[in-house]
């Protein structure tokens, strides 16, 4: 069976999946959200983004920089100061990400109820059993 053209390396679906996984990941969204207000230093980002490790922040910043979404600016001071800033391309993500976070906040209770209902059905019927669930309103 030949691979479909759209799923081949470099195809549109592969590229979309790769970019969305990078930007839409937990830490990418946080970093872009914090840099929305202007340049920040590594230490300020690490302090403000709850739960991120130094290694994960460095990796996230590097990947976002590689994708052209932010720049790393080294200022010639003693000691050198490094700031991270969204690029014009990175700024185009702010509005869609704000829409996503607004949607998530607006629907979080519905999602929690759906999860609780699903988890209750899993416990009562066992994993892998077909269960019809009515949508929550």
pLDDT at 10 exceeding the cut of 70: no
CA 51, 56, 59 angle in degrees (round to 5)?
Answer: 150
| φ, ψ of residue 43 in degrees (nearest 5) | -65, -35
Tell me how far apart the alpha carbons of residues 28 and 25 are, in angstroms, rounded to a whole number. Answer: 5
Neighbours of 31 (CB within 10 A): 27
pLDDT in tens, 87-136: 999 999 999 988 988 998 999 999 999 999 999 887 776 665 555 555 55
Range of the domain at 107: 93-125+133-137
> How many domains are there within the chain?
2
Same domain? For 42 and 99 the reply is no
Same domain? For 17 and 84 the reply is yes
Displacement of CA 19 from its chain's centroid (Å): 10
Q: What is the pTM of this model?
A: 0.71
Sign of the alpha-carbon dihedral angle for 39, 45, 64, 59: positive
pLDDT in tens, 34-64: 999 999 999 999 999 999 999 999 999 999 9
pLDDT at residue 1, rounded to an integer: 52
Same domain? For 62 and 13 the reply is yes
Same domain? For 14 and 80 the reply is yes
Q: What is the CATH number of the domain that holds 30?
A: 1.10.10.10
């Amino acid at each position: 069976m030949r691979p479909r053209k759209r799923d081949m390396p470099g195809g549109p679906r592969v590229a979309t999946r790769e970019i969305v996984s990078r930007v839409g990941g937990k830490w990418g969204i946080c970093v872009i959200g914090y840099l929305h207000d202007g340049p920040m230093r590594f230490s300020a980002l690490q302090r403000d983004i709850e739960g991120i490790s130094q290694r994960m922040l460095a990796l996230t910043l590097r990947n976002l920089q590689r994708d052209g979404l932010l720049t790393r600016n080294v200022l010639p001071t003693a000691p050198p100061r490094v700031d991270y800033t969204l690029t014009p391309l990175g700024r185009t993500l702010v509005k869609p990400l704000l829409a996503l976070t607004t949607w998530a906040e607006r629907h979080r209770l519905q999602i929690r109820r759906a999860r609780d209902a699903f988890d209750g059905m899993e416990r009562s019927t066992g994993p892998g059993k077909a269960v019809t669930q009515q949508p929550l309103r």
